[in-house]
Amino acid sequence: MHLTEFILANIEPIAREWEEFAKTCTPAAIGMTRSSLLDDVTRILRAVAEDMEQPQTPAEQEAKGRSQRSTGPLGSAASSHVSLRIDSRFDLAQIVSEYRAMRASVLRLWAKTLPNGLSEETDAAIRFDEAIDESVAEIVPTYLQRESQFRDRFFGMLGHDLRTPINAIHLSARALVDGGGLKENEVKMALRILNSCQNLDRMVRDILDFTRGRFGEPMHVTRSPADLGVILHDIVDELQCANPNVIIDWAANGDLRGEWDRERLSQVISNLVTNAIQHGNAQHVSVTAGNENDRVLIEVHNQGPAIPQDRLATIFNPLRQERHSNQGRAGLGLGLFICKEIVKAHGGTISASSSRDAGTIFAMRLTKRAASGADNQNRQSILTDRPIRKQERAELI
């Protein structure tokens, strides 16, 4: 059977092997549905077979050899596939490995259908492709790691270096306000400067938290004995004062005492409630907390418009939140990603569900105490408060 005929006649078993391999691309594939893993595989295989059937000129063959982009069905299918994979946080090495695995599966399954197996010439060509694949398998992760190191180092340095001018602006504006003698309009301008400094400081902290996550470091939390009900009540009161046009309900049940990082958990609730108000256009938000033995369940619920299911799948991914021009939100789109990291640092989990009837619910389950032997000490890294070495700066120039 000709190879193209074999592909078209065996799309299902090929797709099954693709699916099994895609499941190994962790942690990105964890939690993905079967349809998400398969997504455009049928379309890609059909496009490959169609491309193989088309007459090809020497110039077209040379163009493929030079990796010029395809504008036909094959290029369209591949572009759709890679977009879905990026949304699911597959990295480039994992995406490339998927295609290598698909090619190996097709050729292996096809060879089993041939009466005499593959010819020596065909087998030699396949071995050559495999050797090139081994080089690609080594090059891509190495390149990505090196690129990531430079990018993350830059963000870490940026976050630190911005702190000095932000602090200077904040202190100067505060001195003007506290010193008196300003006219009413001048006081308003100084207060606007202070508010902008707080927004900038929050974005810098988000950059540092995001970069720390990219280094693979767990978010640092400082646990101390406290009643989580009191912590959440205080932050809800603050949010209600800041959003007088929105009703924010609060309810607690059971024993919520444990070891908590007050500042970090306040950040989570603030992010979730603010997100519901700004992105969900919610006029009524409820925050509830309940005891579950050694855990606490916290839910933030609103009846705003439902979040589309395709967005729910990537809602905690960094830099993926859509911005709408009518919302005027200041931020980097890292809020929900940072919420997930904070919850994870508390030994917990966070999930989101949304429908027109039930509304949108963010549910968190937090452990009341750190696991035995857990290391909550800050580790030295480029993100700590040590000065950035001249050599590190030179590498970025």
Asked if residue 211 has pLDDT above 70, the reply is: no
Closest of 284, 262, 295 to residue 360, by C-alpha: 284
Tell me the percentage of the chain whose pLDDT exceeds 90. Answer: 15
DSSP string, 291-326: EETTEEEEEEEE-SSPPPHHHHTTTTSTT-----TT
Asked if residue 203 has pLDDT above 80, the reply is: no
Q: Return the top range by mean pLDDT from 59-68, 79-88, 274-283, 342-351.
A: 342-351
Q: How does pLDDT run across 221-241, given as a tens digit for each residue? A: 889 999 999 999 999 998 898
pLDDT band of 319, cuts 50, 70, 90? low
Q: Where are the alpha helices (DSSP H) in 54-119?
A: 58-65, 73-87, 92-113
pLDDT band of 218, cuts 50, 70, 90? low
Asked if residue 395 has pLDDT above 50, the reply is: no
Triad 53, 57, 60: Cα angle to 5°: 90
Asked if residue 76 has pLDDT above 90, the reply is: no
DSSP string, 225-283: EEEHHHHHHHHHHHHHHH-TTSEEEEEEES--EEEE-HHHHHHHHHHHHHHHHHTS--S
The rounded Cα 267 to chain-centroid distance in angstroms is 18
Closest of 115, 95, 101, 111 to residue 14, by C-alpha: 101
Domain boundaries, the chain: 3-117, 153-214, 224-367
Closest of 281, 276, 272 to residue 326, by C-alpha: 281
Closest of 142, 139, 155 to residue 214, by C-alpha: 155
pLDDT of residue 181: 81
Q: How far apart are CA 140 and CA 298, in angstroms?
A: 41
Coil, helix or strand for 212?
Answer: helix
pLDDT of residue 224: 92
The residue ranking higher by pLDDT, 387 or 264, is 264
Q: Residue 64 contacts by C-beta under 8 Å, 6 or more apart in sequence?
A: 70
Q: How does pLDDT run across 118-152, given as a tens digit for each residue? A: 888 888 888 888 888 778 778 888 887 787 777 77
Task: Please compute the mean of the pLDDT values over residues 153-166 and round it to a whole number.
Answer: 76
Q: How far apart are CA 300 and CA 311, in angstroms?
A: 18
Q: How many CB atoms are closer than 10 A to CB 23?
A: 13
**Which CATH number does the domain 224-367 belong to among 3.30.565.10, 3.40.50.2300, 3.40.50.150, 2.20.28.90?**
3.30.565.10
Q: How does pLDDT run across 244-278, given as a tens digit for each residue? A: 899 999 999 999 999 999 988 988 998 899 888 88
Encoding tokens for residue 356? Answer: 């027109």
- Give the H or E element holding residue 195: helix 184-214
Closest of 47, 25, 53 to residue 37, by C-alpha: 25
